Amino acid sequence: MPYSDHIIELSIIVPTYNEHPNVIPMVESLDEALGKFRWEVIFVDDDSPDGTASQIREVAMRDPRVRVVQRVGRRGLSSAAIEGILASSAPFCAVIDGDLQHDEKLLATMLETIIKEDLDVVSGSRYIEGGGLGDWHESRAKISRFATRLSRMVLHADLTDPMSGFFMIRRSAFEKRMHNLSGIGFKILLDIFASSKETLRYRELPYEFRTRQAGESKLDSQAAWEYFMLLLDKLIGHIVPVRFVAFTLVGGAGVIVHMLIVWLMLNQDAQFTTAQTAATLIAMTSNYALNNVLTYRDKRLRGWAWLKGWFSFTLACSVGALGNIGIASYIFAQDTTWVLASLSGIVVGAVWNYAVTSAYTWNKPKAA
């Protein structure tokens, strides 16, 4: 190897969330797979409630190759991988799941390949000869294939498995692209490829996706939304912040909720003012709850923080509504059409609501 004895050749970045039982087996299998190399492992744990971080520290007390970056009040696989790479100095970084589903024995071949062939990225693929999905249900396999097809919109390479979370990257190649990364959701490899103006020199190596032995998958229905947001960010993120788009979509859903409630209550012979007030409150609350799980999933508020957030959100949106009405009335008075006046009010209100709630409601990363 062309490096001096003390220099770490390879940093392995392992994002974790509730992987307590997998920590020791993970370090042991890395040790077995990478015995002859000089490596370190950096776990990036998002303050897992099951105590993953303290488990890692326990191992780290005995093994200096092991470290943990513990993030408080933050969530996200991609952003964890990015911060892990940034916390290391090795010329090559690998990203691998912490649940032993990725085949760590491939790491040695990855390192040899990336050096020998002078590549930027070597990634694990489940879709080339010798790779496989393991025991995935047909339904998940279908979703994954569909997501892969969608990724072609933003991908500037012919990767067979851009959804793979298992890869190695040359630091210099990462540094060239890191300012353009979205860091949204699960798909960090896709993010890297889609953030590249120049094509990356890459190669895919096959691996078989293993069955999870302990703990649970964190991929849920919201992962689909995050994936959609990542694609959108890559497509239009340079024009408008993707969080604003999400916020507006949620707002649109809120209008439907609002109308539905007014309609229901009027059918029950309620007074219009009562119905309008109730609908406003309920729509604001549902907008808040939806934004909390979708738009701000990485900063999601819970418990008391949820309630406090609801207050600031409602307050901000009430002021936004006043601004909306004020602007709309002013423009309407200038002899324009009501549609233009009304839309202007909505745009001003939405921008206000977005700006103020992003600064006050979901301002600081705070775990409850």
What amino acid occupies position 368?
A
Minimal distance, residue 47 CB to ligand GDD, in Å: 9
| Site map 298..337 versus ligand GDD, x via CB under 6 A | ----------------------------------------
Token pair for 4: 């001096």
Indicate the pairing of strand 66-70 with strand 121-125: unpaired
Q: CB under 6 A: which stretch of 11-19, 196-204, 252-260, 323-331 binds ligand GDD?
A: 11-19
Cα angle 336, 337, 342 (rounded to 5 degrees) comes to 100
H-state helical runs in 152-241 = 171-177, 188-194, 221-236
Closest to ligand GDD by CB, 133 vs 346, is 133
Whole-Å CA distances, 311 to 61, 273, 306, 318, 362: 44, 22, 9, 11, 12
Q: Which 98-127 residues touch Mn ion, going by CB under 5 A?
A: 99, 101
Task: Map residue 167 onto helix, strand or coil.
Answer: strand
Phi-psi region of 72 (alpha: psi -120 to 50; beta: other; left: phi over 0): beta
Residue 217 interacting with ligand GDD (CB under 6 A): yes
Whole-Å CA distances, 87 to 23, 25, 43, 114, 322: 19, 23, 10, 21, 46
**Residues 186, 228, 352, 362: which binds ligand GDD (CB under 6 A)?**
186
Minimal distance, residue 43 CB to ligand GDD, in Å: 8
Q: Check if the beta carbon of residue 157 is closer than 8 Å to that of residue 199.
A: yes
Residue 97 interacting with ligand GDD (CB under 6 A): yes
Size of residue set near Mn ion by CB under 5 A:
2
Q: CB under 6 A: which stretch of 96-104, 172-180, 299-307, 324-332 binds ligand GDD?
A: 96-104
Residue 160 interacting with ligand GDD (CB under 6 A): no
Q: CB under 6 A: which stretch of 160-168, 235-243, 248-256, 339-347 binds ligand GDD?
A: 160-168
Q: Which does 144 bind (CB under 5 to 8 A by kind): Mn ion, ligand GDD, none?
A: ligand GDD
What amino acid occupies position 13?
I
Supply the DSSP symbol for 132.
Answer: B
Residue 345 interacting with ligand GDD (CB under 6 A): no
- d(Cα 156, Cα 158) in Å, to the nearest integer? 7
Minimal distance, residue 5 CB to ligand GDD, in Å: 31
Q: Which 72-91 residues touch ligand GDD, going by CB under 6 A?
A: 75-77, 80
Closest to ligand GDD by CB, 186 vs 288, is 186
Burial per residue of 48-73, b for 16 or more beta-carbon CB atoms within 10 angstroms, e otherwise? beeebbebbbebbeeeebbbbbbbeb
Residue 210 interacting with ligand GDD (CB under 6 A): no
Q: CB under 6 A: which stretch of 157-165, 198-206, 242-250, 276-284 binds ligand GDD?
A: 157-165
Minimal distance, residue 22 CB to ligand GDD, in Å: 7
Report the sign of the C-alpha dihedral through residues 45, 50, 53, 56, in that order.
negative
**Residues 156, 176, 210, 218: which binds ligand GDD (CB under 6 A)?**
218
Size of residue set near ligand GDD by CB under 6 A:
23
Minimal distance, residue 97 CB to Mn ion, in Å: 5
Q: Check if the beta carbon of residue 312 is closer than 8 Å to that of residue 361.
A: yes
Q: Which does 57 bind (CB under 5 to 8 A by kind): ligand GDD, Mn ion, none?
A: none
Phi-psi region of 185 (alpha: psi -120 to 50; beta: other; left: phi over 0): left
Q: Which residues bind to Mn ion, rule: CB under 5 A?
A: 99, 101
Residues that bind ligand GDD (CB under 6 A): 15-17, 19, 44-46, 75-77, 80, 97-99, 101, 144, 163-165, 186, 217-219
